[in-house]
């Protein structure tokens, strides 16, 4: 039996055994992770999993059970036990299973899937992982160490069926690699000087193994480390801020988190009560597009079998849409946006972005920087998500950068903090470049280089 057949049978069993409604999610997944040390494979981890998750509705009470036994020999016993346990749960009128949504071109798949990824010899994956570090070391003689080097891939295929008439299937794959390079200048004795150490990291993720370029990853990690050599301590002041994709994505990802309807409804998001308000400058349009052709986050259907959608979360600066699953959509009296996600069969769905990005502008990065008289090209920030005050929106984060003078990058600086209010930050975005780049850190976030008219710098 295929995954969809198994899902149908599980739903039928649950209904016969007493559930009002049922939904079965059946998944096969495979993943590999390789860590490299001293140009050799240090650890190689491979994992295959298969199983199902079953959600049950009984008198507005929601139950969940899962199993990795796809021959279903234990299914009846598990479902009976789950029904008994579900009767003890608290009823909630918003506990629903979604109805089919018509007219969303649900059969026109936007996905990409690497058919050979699961069967590819591990030696080829190790070779690609090693090549990343080799490229970084060869990029510049000042690279003295690759402090961290890793390759990974995963593929997931799933099917969903429900008693409400939902039926859908989806699949996707990804391969990634990253390197953390360490650069040092030479001391008078000709040896690398640890006091001058700077780091650079680059991460790339692609849908297919053959599209992952280890030389590009290694070269970028080296470039990012070397450009910060000779960094001086920054000084307190206010400057124009230029955020390239590898730092700007942190702020766009924050918006993805703030746009989750569950957090908004619980008033744990700064977007609570702000629907329809201007939350950014009119240069800012942020989109979540689950149907982006070839997008790494593109899905035929989400983890509840709802077709994915394209929506403008922020449209020309105005908060326009949230990310919903079926529960939060029912609570809000709207239709699910297809943003329920399941990382594995034994996890209930959670709200997650798909391809979430800041829409690019029409000017080049070079033109954007060239118009800056005195500013900072921000090369590193950390801890943004944890630092934002959920009441005021204020934040303060450590960072590094390169000073801009009369349109040119000049002196690297470190030991600074960047602070302000997150709404002021987005309202001060006055230019967006055309270099849309995708970054993968837990979620898939796309951003071009963008400019902020004023950021507060803390230093000496």
Q: Which residues make Cβ contacts (< 8 Å) with residue 266, sequence separation at least 6? A: none
Please indicate, yes or no, whether residues 221 and 254 belong to a single structural domain of this protein. no
Same domain, 53 and 169: yes
| pLDDT of res. 443 | 82
> How far, in Å, CA of 40 to CA of 333, rounded?
55
Same domain, 298 and 280: yes
Of 172, 205, 226, at which residue does a domain stop? 226
206 with 281, same domain?
no
Q: Same structural domain for residues 257 and 404?
A: yes
Domain of residue 105 covers: 3-226
Select from 178, 184, 170, 187 the least CA-distant residue to 216. 178
Give Cα separations from 262 to 298, 325, 329 (angstroms).
22, 9, 9
* Beta strands in 384-436, from DSSP E residues, in sequence order: 394-405, 408-421, 429-432
Contacts of 213 (CB under 8 A, 6+ apart): 204
Structurally, how many domains does the chain consist of? 2
**Distance, CA of 135 to CA of 323 (rounded, Å):** 40
What is this structure's pTM?
0.94
Q: Which of 226, 253, 271 is the last residue of a domain?
A: 226
User: Do 165 and 245 belong to one domain?
Assistant: no
Q: How far apart are CA 135 and CA 150, in angstroms?
A: 14
pLDDT tens track, the chain, 460 positions = 899 999 999 999 999 999 999 999 999 999 999 999 988 999 999 999 999 999 999 999 999 999 999 988 899 999 999 999 999 999 999 999 999 976 555 455 678 899 999 899 999 999 999 999 999 999 999 999 999 999 999 999 999 999 999 999 999 999 999 999 999 998 888 899 999 999 999 999 999 999 999 999 999 999 999 999 999 999 999 999 999 999 999 999 999 999 999 999 999 999 999 999 999 999 999 999 999 988 899 998 999 999 999 999 999 999 999 999 999 999 999 999 999 999 899 999 999 999 999 999 999 999 999 999 999 999 999 999 999 998 999 999 999 999 999 999 999 999 999 999 999 999 999 999 999 999 887 788 999 999 999 999 999 8
Other beta carbons within 10 Å of 133: 26
In the chain, count H helices and then E strands: 10, 21
From the list 265, 268, 278, the residue with the least C-alpha distance to 423 is 278
Q: What is the pLDDT at residue 108?
A: 58
pLDDT at residue 109, rounded to an integer: 63
Question: Could you tell me the CATH number of the domain that includes residue 21?
Answer: 3.30.2290.10
């Amino acid at each position: 039996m295929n995954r969809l057949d198994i899902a149908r049978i599980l739903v039928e069993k649950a209904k016969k055994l007493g559930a009002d409604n049922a939904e079965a999610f059946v998944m096969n997944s495979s993943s590999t992770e390789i860590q490299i040390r001293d140009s050799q494979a240090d650890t190689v981890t491979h994992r295959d999993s298969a199983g199902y998750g079953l959600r049950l509705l009984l008198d507005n009470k929601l139950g969940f059970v899962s199993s990795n036994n796809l021959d279903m020999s234990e299914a009846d016993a598990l479902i009976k036990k789950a029904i008994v346990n579900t009767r003890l749960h608290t009823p909630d009128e918003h506990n629903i299973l979604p109805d089919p949504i018509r007219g969303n071109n649900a059969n026109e798949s936007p996905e990409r899937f690497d058919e050979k990824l699961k069967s590819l010899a591990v030696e080829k994956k190790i070779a690609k992982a090693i090549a990343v570090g080799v490229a970084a070391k060869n990029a510049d003689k000042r690279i003295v160490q690759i402090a961290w080097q890793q390759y990974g891939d995963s593929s997931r295929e799933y099917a969903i069926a429900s008693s409400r008439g939902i039926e859908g299937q989806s699949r996707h794959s990804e391969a990634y690699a990253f390197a953390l390079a360490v650069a040092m200048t030479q001391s008078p004795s000709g040896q690398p000087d640890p006091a001058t150490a700077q780091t650079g990291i680059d991460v790339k993720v692609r849908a297919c193994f053959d599209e992952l370029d280890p030389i590009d990853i290694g070269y970028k990690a080296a470039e990012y480390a070397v450009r910060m050599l000779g960094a001086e301590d920054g000084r307190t002041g206010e400057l124009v801020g230029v955020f390239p994709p590898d730092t700007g994505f942190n702020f766009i990802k924050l918006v993805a988190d703030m746009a989750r309807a569950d957090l908004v409804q619980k008033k744990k998001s700064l977007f609570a009560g702000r629907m329809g308000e201007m939350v950014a400058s009119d240069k800012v349009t942020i989109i979540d597009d689950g149907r982006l052709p070839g997008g790494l986050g593109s899905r035929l259907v989400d983890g509840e079998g709802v077709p994915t959608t394209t929506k403008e979360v922020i449209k020309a600066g105005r908060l326009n849409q949230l990310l919903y699953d079926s529960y939060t959509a029912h609570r809000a009296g709207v239709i699910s946006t297809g943003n329920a996600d399941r990382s594995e069969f034994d996890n209930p769905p959670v709200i997650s972005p798909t391809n979430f990005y800041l829409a690019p502008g029409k000017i080049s990065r070079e033109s954007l920087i060239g118009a800056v008289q005195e500013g900072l090209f921000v090369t590193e920030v950390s801890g943004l998500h944890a630092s934002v005050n959920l009441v005021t929106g204020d934040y303060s984060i450590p960072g590094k950068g390169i000073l801009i003078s009369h349109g040119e990058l000049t002196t690297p600086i470190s030991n600074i903090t960047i602070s302000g209010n997150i709404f002021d930050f987005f309202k001060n975005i006055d230019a967006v470049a055309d270099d849309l780049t995708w970054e993968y850190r837990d979620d898939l976030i796309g951003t071009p280089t963008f400019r902020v008219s004023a950021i507060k710098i803390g230093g000496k």
